[in-house]
Structure 1
Amino acid sequence: MTDDTQFPAQQQTPPGLTDEMTPVPDHGEESYVGHGRLEGQVALVTGGDSGIGRAIAIAYAREGADVAFTYLPEEQPDAEATVALVEGAGRRVLALALDLTERAACDEAVARTVEELGALDILVNNAGYQMARDHAVDDLSDDRIDRTFKTNLYALLWLTRAAAPHLRKRPGCVINNASIQAYEPSTTLLDYAATKAAINNLTVNLAASLGSDGIRVNAVAPGPIWTPLQPATQEPEKIEKFGSDTPLGRAGQPAEVAPAFVFLASPADASYVSGTVLGVTGGKPVF
């Protein structure tokens, strides 16, 4: 590879699998060290089988939280790896094979988390869908628009609605996964970028709506992060220079994003932080 090439050209069938990536992402398996910031808490992380979701699950478990996470059935190999990593941290884990584009699945995710793990302190709306292999608005099929908005927005609202009664009891917090795409939208991601801008708006509005209940609502806006979503949804030639346009000159790893989710979840460190979007973008602006 040349100096400005970070990854070999590669492509997968969506949704993509971790072990088929070159190189395999770093989720903090060897590096993340917990300090008890989330001791005794219960978290539900959507899309927790791989990428940023797996890194969050690892970090939360090592910080002392039990973790439930959702994944799609075709992501079973990645889900099994995440289960092993959470259990390796000595925490309880609940893996839920659910399609969050269905409202009933969102309700089930929350209900089973509370039923099987006993409570809910942290809801992380991380699951997302994008497709960047079509290059014009003419190529946006109804099915793609529907899946993008249901995965990225409908599910966020359905899950937050279902979780709110349980979060009020703690009180707990909600953390949404936004994106640099909310600030620097790509024409190949018209629908995805629009949902991420909407997530920023929802984050601020939910923080105002739920603040009187003591529930904090924040978001993290990652930049280009090396996850299965990239080879599964980008053209191969884009992968070769993925992340090279950031001020730091490279893509980030999931392990570099997870600490932001830990900070925002921590009742000691972020007790007065709500309604904010924290950028982890390699230097790209989030304002």
Structure 2
Amino acid sequence: MKHSPDNEPIQSNQPGQEWQMQRKPQYLREGYKGSGKLEGKVAIITGGDSGIGRAIAVHFALEGADLALAYLNEEKDAVQTRRLVEKEGAKCMLFSGDLGDSQTCRQLVDKVIDEYGCIDVLINNVGEQHPHQDISEIDDQQLEKTFRTNIFSYYRMIRAALPHMQQGATIVNTSSIIGNRGADFLIDYAGTKGAIEALTKSMAQSVADKGIRVNCVAPGPIWTPLIPATFTAEMLEGFGKDTPLGRVGEPWEVATCHLFLACADSAYLPGQTLHPNGGDYMG
């Protein structure tokens, strides 16, 4: 197994395994205490097994929500996240499957309704990325897979969940700094993240009269399993250190943005994007 200059093992499969990481991502700020912001709510978190998804799950549990965590096949990480959630007194259902498939999205929603009876929050957070310096290197199979995972799953999850969401419900989509400024080595990924921004604004207008809010979080360089599963050892060197804050971000620094947009604190914010990126992109 190859290692980065910081001795981080380079992983060969996406979306990556948190348990394999040498330097563990920080999913919770030390001393954080919940205050019931999501008391009695039910939330679905896609990509909920590790990284940003794990951080969202633990914060939501601390705030009183019961959870359904969807993931591809990262069973070991998902089970650990469930332990962390249940430790905070919340219920946690696990669901494994490829959410790029419409039927899988419907199955997830059906299981959540069977288990909990409602959906109050939908966090679309699943994603993958494959660096290439030239568009000619992106074949149809990768192009379609990246779009199926990163944007089609968001449409399909919203379509499946929306009939079960009532006034006051919220949807939060995870985009990326790349969706705003682009990246010459993540061309297909950038296209999906830009699409998420447009989807967010359009859906926010579409469901505003129902009292449902749709918003977005666009992280910058964040230390998650996707990073060592994406980049070479050379690309990992100095990751995040060129931001104005001079460091990589932690998953909890993104999860608190999702929490704000999921709860009543952001009641007058539809169709917006928060940018936890260390000042790397200020728009």
Instruction: Give the TM-score normalised by the residue count of structure 2.
Output: 0.95
1:36 aligns with: 36
Contact 1:25 1:226 in 2 (8 A): yes
CA 166–272 in structure 1, closer or farther in 2 if over 3 Å, else same: same
CA distance in 2 between counterparts of 1:30 and 1:96 reads 29
Q: 1:252 aligned to 2:252?
A: no
CA distance in 2 between counterparts of 1:62 and 1:147 reads 34
Please report how far the alpha carbon of residue 93 of structure 1 lies from its aligned counterpart in structure 2 after TM superposition.
0.4
Question: Which of 247, 260, 265 is matched with 1:263 structurally?
Answer: 260
Backbone CA RMSD of aligned residues: 1.5
Question: Which of 138, 153, 156 is matched with 1:155 structurally?
Answer: 153
The Cα offsets for residues 84-118 of structure 1, whole Å up to 9 and x where unpaired, read as 01110101101000111111011111111121122
1:121 aligns with: 120
Counterpart code for 2:204? A
Please report how far the alpha carbon of residue 280 of structure 1 lies from its aligned counterpart in structure 2 after TM superposition.
0.4
Contact 1:14 1:229 in 2 (8 A): no
Contact 1:8 1:240 in 2 (8 A): no
1:198 aligns with: 195
Counterpart code for 1:156? Y
Unaligned 5+ residue runs, structure 2? none
CA distance in 2 between counterparts of 1:71 and 1:31 reads 28
Please report how far the alpha carbon of residue 166 of structure 1 lies from its aligned counterpart in structure 2 after TM superposition.
1.1
Please report how far the alpha carbon of residue 214 of structure 1 lies from its aligned counterpart in structure 2 after TM superposition.
0.6
2:275 aligns with: 279
Please report how far the alpha carbon of residue 173 of structure 1 lies from its aligned counterpart in structure 2 after TM superposition.
0.8
Contact 2:220 2:280 in 1 (8 A): yes
CA 52–112 in structure 1, closer or farther in 2 if over 3 Å, else same: same
1:50 aligns with: 50
1:101 aligns with: 100
Please report how far the alpha carbon of residue 29 of structure 1 lies from its aligned counterpart in structure 2 after TM superposition.
7.4
Please report how far the alpha carbon of residue 241 of structure 1 lies from its aligned counterpart in structure 2 after TM superposition.
1.1
Percent of pairs with identical residues: 43
Contact 2:214 2:270 in 1 (8 A): yes
2:110 aligns with: 111
Counterpart code for 2:228? P
Contact 1:7 1:242 in 2 (8 A): no
Contact 1:179 1:221 in 2 (8 A): yes
Please report how far the alpha carbon of residue 34 of structure 1 lies from its aligned counterpart in structure 2 after TM superposition.
1.1
Give the total of aligned pairs: 279
1:136 aligns with: 134
Q: Secondary structure at the match of 2:43?
A: strand
Q: How does 1:178-189 map to 2 (within 5 A)?
A: 178-189=175-186
Please report how far the alpha carbon of residue 135 of structure 1 lies from its aligned counterpart in structure 2 after TM superposition.
2.4
CA distance in 2 between counterparts of 1:22 and 1:98 reads 27
Q: Secondary structure at the match of 1:230?
A: coil
Counterpart code for 1:61? A
CA distance in 2 between counterparts of 1:43 and 1:72 reads 18
1:80 aligns with: 79
